[in-house]
Structure 1
Amino acid sequence: MYIHLMLTGAIGVIALVVAGIFAMQVMRADTGTQGMRDVAAAIKEGALAFLRRQYTTIALIGVVTAVLLLGVYYLTGRAELAVPTAISFLFGATLSGVAGIIGMWTSVHANLRSAAAAQTSLGKAIVVALRGGAVSGLTIVSLSLLGVSIIFTAFGGDPQTTP
């Protein structure tokens, strides 16, 4: 079982590194005209406001859900799994939130750069757009793999006892 956890964690790290490389490539692309940058700044401001509001609500719901999980496990006589399950849930929710923030950040920046690239070459625009999308996808997958690996390792690596 140990080798599986190591392999899963390693794949998660590799995917995160590749996502980082793609993000750097996207960020090196031209940002276009001042007008394009102004529109992108307004979009970024709106996206950040949305994330702040959305994540405030999600955090509240996440904490309430974790408390409900604790209660359900205690009430059903599985108290030994109550805290590990609640911790695992909150850890997973946090990683999901991080992936969402990275995805939003990347999409805002990639959209501007893809539009700027489209002024000179549709091929370059597609490459920038696909790399931007790959950052989001790889981040979700890598954080999921790392999260599962960390949870399994932290709770002994036994599928029967790991929440």
Structure 2
Amino acid sequence: PIQRSQKAWFELWDDVYRGRLGIALSDTLGTPAFLRDFDLSNAKRFDGARQDSGDPFEWGETFIAHLQSLGIDPRTKTAVFSDSLDDEKAAALWRRFGQRIRPQFGIGTYLSNDLGPKPISNVIKLVRVGGYPVCKLGDDPAKAQADDDEYLRYVRHLVTNVMR
């Protein structure tokens, strides 16, 4: 069930990659749902987490506070910022977090498209597995994605009302 999906994902990811690729994606169901499941065991299992939607400064502060609440020194963990980054935003994030956590930056579009034309946002997302719908909620409502609107509403309801 969806209520256990992130914890199951953490376990499967670890089973497959065995400590490699140790950055957890925090915005599949949104950061609040992610942090509920990113308990002490998972925080020790993973090297860090990746922010890919919403306000990166707010996310960084929230992630650091969560690690501290678990008794983990944030300076031992990695925060990967990767949502619409350019060099200026990456530098500002470094200034804010560089001494408090291990920041890394996934600068894609704005690093590779510097010729002037407006960049094309072309993202491929999973919409069904085995005939069943899947969705992504994220931390930016505009990035919520599913090809089944009823399923998306159902998952939003679960995440905001049931998975507390």
TM-score with structure 1 setting the length: 0.22
Higher strand share: 2
Q: Which is greater in Rg?
A: 1
Higher helix share: 1
TM-score with structure 2 setting the length: 0.22
Which structure has more RCO (C-alpha within 8 Å, separation ≥ 6)?
Answer: 1
